[in-house]
Amino acid sequence: MDDDLALPVLPTSVPRLTLRPLTADAMEAYYELIVRNREHLTRHGDYEEMKVATREAVARDFASPLDRNLRFGLWFEDQLVGRADLNPVDPPRYSMGYWLDEGVTGRGYMTAACGALIDFARAGLGATDVFAGVTHGNDRSVAVLERLGFGAVAEFEHYTRFHLSLHTE
């Protein structure tokens, strides 16, 4: 994968919902999104670092990310409502991570956003496989993955790994 890859804006099947590269100019909106969702994000034991994230820590992460994730913000019109990443663990195999503002759950946003992200992974990155891990108890996240065609492939102590093959027969 090219480290200088310019990420596109990705339309989704939901009108006015887009995935946009999550860049430093969105840092303040992202921090506010975290603050609104601290309890929601940690409900199943994951995203614990978000519970204590400070504005300064989020700004540092935007300035010098500790990972190579392709980061997208989910925007409904001009409101940042979530995040979805592709992690180039072993290209052409990627993992996907995502979370959504609790105030907009149940509207199909994450299914639409992840569908657009998968399409980008396939067409834009040449991905052959996408994996995702879901913490036990997060049934809504499991439902998103199942709607997109993922299947459970491994059980671990705290999460289940899901897989979607993008190979065309």
| pLDDT, tens digit, 9 for 90 and up, residues 51-90 | 889 999 999 999 999 899 999 999 999 999 999 999 999 9
In a domain, 2, yes or no: no
- The pTM (predicted TM-score) of the whole model is 0.93
Q: How many CB atoms lie within 10 A of CB 119?
A: 15
> Residue 4 above 80 pLDDT?
no
Whose tokens are 């994730």? That residue is 69
8-33: buried (b, 16+ CB within 10 Å) or exposed (e) per residue?
eebebebeebbbbbbeeebbeebbeb
Q: What is the pLDDT of residue 1?
A: 41
In a domain, 1, yes or no: no
In a domain, 3, yes or no: no
* Domain with 25 in it: 10-165
CATH number at residue 60: 3.40.630.30
In a domain, 18, yes or no: yes
Q: What is the pLDDT of residues 23-57, one digit of tens each?
A: 999 999 999 999 999 999 988 888 888 888 999 99
With bands split at pLDDT 50, 70 and 90, how would you rate the model's confidence at 161? Answer: very high
In a domain, 79, yes or no: yes
- The total of structural domains in the chain comes to 1
- In angstroms, the CA 17 to CA 10 distance is 9
